[in-house]
């Protein structure tokens, strides 16, 4: 599950131990607030006209399952173990396609309540387990769910849906109260009574719960309990409670809006490791991730101990992508899973056929698969251009089979039926031919990323690079031989880490003729106990709150200030001695976009002058800046605003001015990223 890009490995070997250090050759912190020197640390001579188109565009990676970031995160469902499928030991690595089943995260609402996990009278073949709620005949009985570490209760309508039947099969009416309560039962925030008319058949019940008051914390439960006598109780399954979602999707609004705000042009989906599954039977089989929820069996999880519901399934992910104004990069399972086993060459056929069916389902206008999609409510085909075959096939045993047969088998079959698609290889190692692009991953320390960024101008132009996973994951302060497991591993993105990511993005943009896209990974972290497996992450949250990290803000800046064309630039001082990183481009609307990252512990003056006598104008200038005195500062749920950027849509930021010759001088604060959008006069 760990990844290092090949190009990165080569670079790391070359640069060796000199990469592991405190942040740069920067001055000591005693010079933190020192005024900038009067002569510019760097003068940038920027060509007045662009030399090349930039293909670079920001991507987001919706990595399923990890950190309870989809179930328990982006998927707005608040009920945990809603169809009694949990109880998965990740280590045990089950082949079970339906979930062993358990009553985890459910409790009885009264002392006498008995909850029984039942396989009798299944709701559907996909969701075979259900809960039978019984108890003392004359007392109330019921079932309560503790959510993904509680429920955030606010004054908004929550949609409730569940299936129920009579456990004896005999027709009966069971009046129940459904509601949201504090865990100690002292407060009722919302309740409804429903006269459940039950029979031996499963029936769906739906209502809305609108709390009359908000809860002060997430320490709350949802419950269904009989009003009065339990009698024969009730049998229940697929219990769902969702607050209002984002723009008609199934997504949690704060998380979905945060992603919309960074304006990604591409969305890679689904995982990551979760695409591959822990073993071959737990691969991402799209047919189990579409259609009515009661017919979705879900899947063994790759990271969490909760069952993968696939409620945020294939169409839901595509719909979200579309609403974000982005195009999908569809990850296709390529016959290799995380236990190191590959599907043998002569057994690959069904997996290839499944991939083709998936593409027909998403892209066709007519025919069997288009009809199926239409029956699920989506008439128009989805629009996308890129398909990635596999995930990280440079790792472990994957490399022994990817180039030798898996890649070519998928490539040929897809190219034959979908010649319009661009196929991205997950590695170029060991015989991979005909790839139009490669997805290279990069997890690093700040210093490693600075060094990488400095080398990016020399990147081979042989094949377009998509860095669809990258992040600073380790502070680099403890010289860890393994940046994944050493003590320097970050819990949250830091200021200096985010600046390092900015230097990488600036390098990608400067070389946007060959770097086509980049996606920070992972995006989501549910901060609940045992809900996170991988840090740091772009957005941290719990049942009610969300925090934007320093890395998030860098994504925001790059997504909101994109460039279309690259302006070549010469520098008075090389980057590896100034420790100031840059990209210059034009936005297609006659503006120069300048991105400047000062990784030093003191402010620095820089000068930007255009060639051929061209001038910059401050009219309509826009700017964005993130800075801080503490390079290790991080935004967290308990300190969400440690580092917050500022933007202005009217004029230059403090410390920036135009001189009479149309050049720009800027004082870049210590530890800062600055983006300027200026008219080319």
Strand partners, 517: 57, 466
Q: Record the tokens describing residue 383, joined without a space.
A: 């629009």
* Contacts (Cβ under 8 Å, ≥6 apart) of 505: 518, 554, 558, 583, 595
- In angstroms, give the least distance from the CB of 391 to ligand AHR: 5
Task: Please say which residue, 390 or 512, places its beta carbon nearer to ligand AHR.
Answer: 390
- In angstroms, give the least distance from the CB of 400 to ligand AHR: 18
Among 180, 348, 521, 594, binds ligand AHR (CB under 6 A): 521
- In angstroms, give the least distance from the CB of 66 to ligand AHR: 6
How far apart CA 603 and CA 34 sit, in angstroms, is 7
Alpha helix positions (H), 284-338: 314-323
Neighbouring C-beta atoms of residue 112, cutoff 10 Å: 15
- In angstroms, give the least distance from the CB of 390 to ligand AHR: 10
Exposed e or buried b for every residue in 161-179, given b needs 16+ CB within 10 A? bbbbbbbeeeebebebbbb
Residue in 582, 558, 589, 583 with CA at minimum distance from that of residue 58: 558
How far apart CA 84 and CA 133 sit, in angstroms, is 13
Binding to ligand AHR (CB under 6 A) within 260-279 occurs at 271-273
Residues found in the chain: 681
Spell out where 383-475 has E strands. 386-389, 422-425, 437-444, 465-472
Task: Please say which residue, 395 or 642, places its beta carbon nearer to ligand AHR.
Answer: 395
User: Distance of CA 96 to CAs 123, 339, 383, 438, Å?
Assistant: 18, 15, 34, 33
- Whether 541 contacts 528, CB under 8 Å: no
Residue 327 binding ligand AHR, by CB under 6 A: no
- In angstroms, give the least distance from the CB of 49 to ligand AHR: 40
- In angstroms, give the least distance from the CB of 100 to ligand AHR: 24
- In angstroms, give the least distance from the CB of 73 to ligand AHR: 14
Residue 537 binding ligand AHR, by CB under 6 A: no
Residue 534 binding ligand AHR, by CB under 6 A: yes
Task: Please say which residue, 232 or 310, places its beta carbon nearer to ligand AHR.
Answer: 310
Three-class secondary structure of residue 668 per DSSP: strand
Task: Please say which residue, 130 or 273, places its beta carbon nearer to ligand AHR.
Answer: 273
Three-class secondary structure of residue 193 per DSSP: strand
Q: What value, to the nearest 5°, has the Cα angle with vertex 358 and ends 424 and 465?
A: 10
Task: Please say which residue, 149 or 392, places its beta carbon nearer to ligand AHR.
Answer: 392
* Contacts (Cβ under 8 Å, ≥6 apart) of 486: 474, 478, 480
- In angstroms, give the least distance from the CB of 535 to ligand AHR: 10
Task: Please say which residue, 75 or 106, places its beta carbon nearer to ligand AHR.
Answer: 75
Residue 63 binding ligand AHR, by CB under 6 A: yes
> Are β-strands 437-444 and 422-425 bridged in parallel, bridged antiparallel, or unpaired?
parallel
Task: Please say which residue, 176 or 435, places its beta carbon nearer to ligand AHR.
Answer: 435
CA dihedral 140, 145, 146, 147 (to 10 degrees): -150
- In angstroms, give the least distance from the CB of 680 to ligand AHR: 39
Strand partners, 330: 269, 387
Task: Please say which residue, 109 or 426, places its beta carbon nearer to ligand AHR.
Answer: 426
- In angstroms, give the least distance from the CB of 552 to ligand AHR: 16
Task: Please say which residue, 149 or 469, places its beta carbon nearer to ligand AHR.
Answer: 469
Task: Please say which residue, 466 or 534, places its beta carbon nearer to ligand AHR.
Answer: 534
Among 335, 507, 522, 562, binds ligand AHR (CB under 6 A): 522
Task: Please say which residue, 1 or 103, places its beta carbon nearer to ligand AHR.
Answer: 1
Three-class secondary structure of residue 364 per DSSP: coil
Among 86, 393, 467, 469, binds ligand AHR (CB under 6 A): 469
Q: How many residues bind ligand AHR, per CB under 6 A? A: 14
Q: Record the tokens describing residue 255, joined without a space.
A: 């998380």
Task: Please say which residue, 7 or 569, places its beta carbon nearer to ligand AHR.
Answer: 7
Task: Please say which residue, 277 or 645, places its beta carbon nearer to ligand AHR.
Answer: 277
Letters for 139-178 (x = contact with ligand AHR by CB under 6 A, - = none) are: ----------------------------------------
Spell out where 186-228 has E strands. 188-198, 203-209, 220-226
How far apart CA 218 and CA 301 sit, in angstroms, is 25
Residue 392 binding ligand AHR, by CB under 6 A: yes
- In angstroms, give the least distance from the CB of 670 to ligand AHR: 31
- In angstroms, give the least distance from the CB of 2 to ligand AHR: 6
Among 237, 391, 586, 609, binds ligand AHR (CB under 6 A): 391
How far apart CA 229 and CA 248 sit, in angstroms, is 39
Task: Please say which residue, 238 or 328, places its beta carbon nearer to ligand AHR.
Answer: 328
Give the residue at shortest CB distance from ligand AHR. Answer: 272
Task: Please say which residue, 418 or 484, places its beta carbon nearer to ligand AHR.
Answer: 484
Residue 402 binding ligand AHR, by CB under 6 A: no
Burial of 208 (0-12, 13-18, 19+ CB in 10 A): exposed
Q: Record the tokens describing residue 320, joined without a space.
A: 């979200």
Letters for 1-30 (x = contact with ligand AHR by CB under 6 A, - = none) are: xxx---------------------------
Residue 489 binding ligand AHR, by CB under 6 A: no
Residue in 349, 354, 373, 353 with CA at minimum distance from that of residue 363: 373
Q: Record the tokens describing residue 366, joined without a space.
A: 């007519």
How far apart CA 209 and CA 193 sit, in angstroms, is 10
Query: Which residues of the chain form contacts with ligand AHR (CB under 6 A)?
Result: 1-3, 63, 66, 271-273, 391-392, 469, 521-522, 534
């Amino acid at each position: 599950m760990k990844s290092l890009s090949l190009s990165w490995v080569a670079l790391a070997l070359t640069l060796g131990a000199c990469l592991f250090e405190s942040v740069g050759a920067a001055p000591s912190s005693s010079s933190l607030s020192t005024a900038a020197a009067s002569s510019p640390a760097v003068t940038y001579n920027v060509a007045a006209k662009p030399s090349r188109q930039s293909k670079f565009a920001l991507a987001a990676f919706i990595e399923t399952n990890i950190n309870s970031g989809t179930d328990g995160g982006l998927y707005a469902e608040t009920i945990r173990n809603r169809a009694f499928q949990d109880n998965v030991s990740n280590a045990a690595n089950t082949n079970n396609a339906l979930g062993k089943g358990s009553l985890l995260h459910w409790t009885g609402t009264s002392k006498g309540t008995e909850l029984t996990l039942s396989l009798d009278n299944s709701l559907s073949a996909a969701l075979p387990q259900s809960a039978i709620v019984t108890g003392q005949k004359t007392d109330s009985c019921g079932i309560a769910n503790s959510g993904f570490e509680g429920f955030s209760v606010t004054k908004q309508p929550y949609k409730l849906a569940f299936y129920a039947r009579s456990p004896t099969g005999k027709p009966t009416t069971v009046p129940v109260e459904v509601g949201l309560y504090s865990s100690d039962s002292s407060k009722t925030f919302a309740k409804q009574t429903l006269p459940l008319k039950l029979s031996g058949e499963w029936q769906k019940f739906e209502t809305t719960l609108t709390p009359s008051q908000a809860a002060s914390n997430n320490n709350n439960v949802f419950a269904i309990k009989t009003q009065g006598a339990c009698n024969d109780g009730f049998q229940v399954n697929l219990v769902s409670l969702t607050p209002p979602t984002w723009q008609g999707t199934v997504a949690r609004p704060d998380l979905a809006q945060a992603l919309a705000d960074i304006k990604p042009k591409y969305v890679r989906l689904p995982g990551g490791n979760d695409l591959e599954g822990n073993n071959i039977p737990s691969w991402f089989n799209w047919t189990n991730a579409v259609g009515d929820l009661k017919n979705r069996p879900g899947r063994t999880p790759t990271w969490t101990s909760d069952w993968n519901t696939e409620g945020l399934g294939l169409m839901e992910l595509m719909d979200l992508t579309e609403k974000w104004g982005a195009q999908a990069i569809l990850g296709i399972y390529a016959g290799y899973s995380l236990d190191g086993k590959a599907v043998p060459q002569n057994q690959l056929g069904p997996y290839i056929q499944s991939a083709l069916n998936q593409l027909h389902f998403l892209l066709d206008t007519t025919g069997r698969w288009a009809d199926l999609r239409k029956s699920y409510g989506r008439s128009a085909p989805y629009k996308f251009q890129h398909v990635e075959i596999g995930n990280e096939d440079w790792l472990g045993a994957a490399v022994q089979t990817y180039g030798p047969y898996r890649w070519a088998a998928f490539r040929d079959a897809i190219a034959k039926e979908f010649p319009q698609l661009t196929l991205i290889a997950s590695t170029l190692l060991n015989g991979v031919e005909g790839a139009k692009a490669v997805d290279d991953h990069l997890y690093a320390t700040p210093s490693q990323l600075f060094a990488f960024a400095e080398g990016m101008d020399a990147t081979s132009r042989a094949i377009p690079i998509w860095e669809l996973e990258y992040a600073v994951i380790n502070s680099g302060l403890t010289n860890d031989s393994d940046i994944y497991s050493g003590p320097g591993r970050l819990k949250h993105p830091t200021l200096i880490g985010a600046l390092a990511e900015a230097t990488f993005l600036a390098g990608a943009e400067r070389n946007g003729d060959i770097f086509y896209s980049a996606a920070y990974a992972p995006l989501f972290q549910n901060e609940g106990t045992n809900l996170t497996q991988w840090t740091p992450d772009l957005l941290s949250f719990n049942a009610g709150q969300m925090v934007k990290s320093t890395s998030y803000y860098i994504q925001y800046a790059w997504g909101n200030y994109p460039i279309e064309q690259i302006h070549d630039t010469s520098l008075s001082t090389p980057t590896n001695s100034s420790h100031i990183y840059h990209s210059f481009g034009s936005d297609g609307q006659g503006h120069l976009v300048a991105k400047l990252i000062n990784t030093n512990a003191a402010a620095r003056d820089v000068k930007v002058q255009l060639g051929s006598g061209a001038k910059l104008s401050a009219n309509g200038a826009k700017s964005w800046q993130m800075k801080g005195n503490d390079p290790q500062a991080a935004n967290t749920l308990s300190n969400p605003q440690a580092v917050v950027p500022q933007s202005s849509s009217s004029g230059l930021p403090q410390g920036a001015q135009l001189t009479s010759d149309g050049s720009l001088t800027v004082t870049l604060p210590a530890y800062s990223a600055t983006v300027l959008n200026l008219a080319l006069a």
